[in-house]
């Protein structure tokens, strides 16, 4: 099966937009100042990622669209597209209002891990001249989000 860069970048754009919205909403609703700052910082980084993927989408015709995906990879992309890595604003509000702070951080941590898996998979289909370095930079930044969220979880009162 063929890798369809346009579909994949649309999915990545959706993930980054939902992630930005998640973190902005979390920052607004969160009672803890330190957490609010963390969520705003993460929102700004996700906004930057959105712009990078927007640029990729503009140039996706130049990306290795002749590359083949395994059935498992295609199923993964399709399942990810059906679900949202990050929820919509209503679900975010409910999660934040009904859950302890640590639960919100853990939820965000799992979503960041899902993003990393997607971007690692995408990077397999991107050649160096068409943005592999940028994808790898996003992966590293998402990994830094994992570290930041893990640190916040470890520092939260239990």
C-alpha 105/C-alpha 70 separation (Å) is 33
Predicted TM-score (pTM) of the model is 0.79
Q: What crossing angle do the helices spanning 89-98 and 5-29 adopt, rounded to 10°?
A: 40
36-95 per-position pLDDT tens digit: 899 999 999 999 999 988 887 776 655 555 555 677 776 777 676 566 566 666 676 677
Q: What crossing angle do the helices spanning 5-29 and 33-58 adopt, rounded to 10°?
A: 160
Least confident span in 35-39, 122-126, 148-152: 122-126
For residue 19, the model assigns a pLDDT of 87
- Domains with residue ranges and CATH for the chain: 5-155 (1.20.1260.10)
Other beta carbons less than 10 A from residue 48's beta carbon: 12
For residue 45, the model assigns a pLDDT of 93
């Amino acid at each position: 099966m063929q890798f369809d860069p346009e579909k994949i970048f649309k999915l990545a754009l959706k993930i980054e937009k939902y992630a930005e919205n998640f973190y902005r909403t979390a920052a607004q609703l969160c009672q803890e100042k330190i957490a609010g700052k963390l969520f705003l910082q993460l929102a700004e980084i996700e906004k930057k990622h959105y712009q990078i993927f927007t640029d990729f989408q503009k140039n996706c015709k130049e990306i290795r669209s002749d590359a083949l995906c395994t059935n498992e990879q295609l199923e993964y992309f399709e399942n990810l597209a059906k679900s949202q890595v990050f929820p919509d604003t209503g679900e975010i509000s409910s999660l934040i209002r009904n859950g302890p702070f640590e639960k919100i951080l853990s939820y965000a941590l799992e979503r960041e891990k899902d993003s990393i898996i997607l971007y690692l998979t995408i990077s397999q289909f991107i050649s160096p001249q068409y943005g592999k370095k940028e994808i790898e930079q996003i992966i590293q930044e998402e990994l830094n989000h994992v570290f930041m969220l893990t640190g916040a979880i470890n520092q939260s009162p239990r």
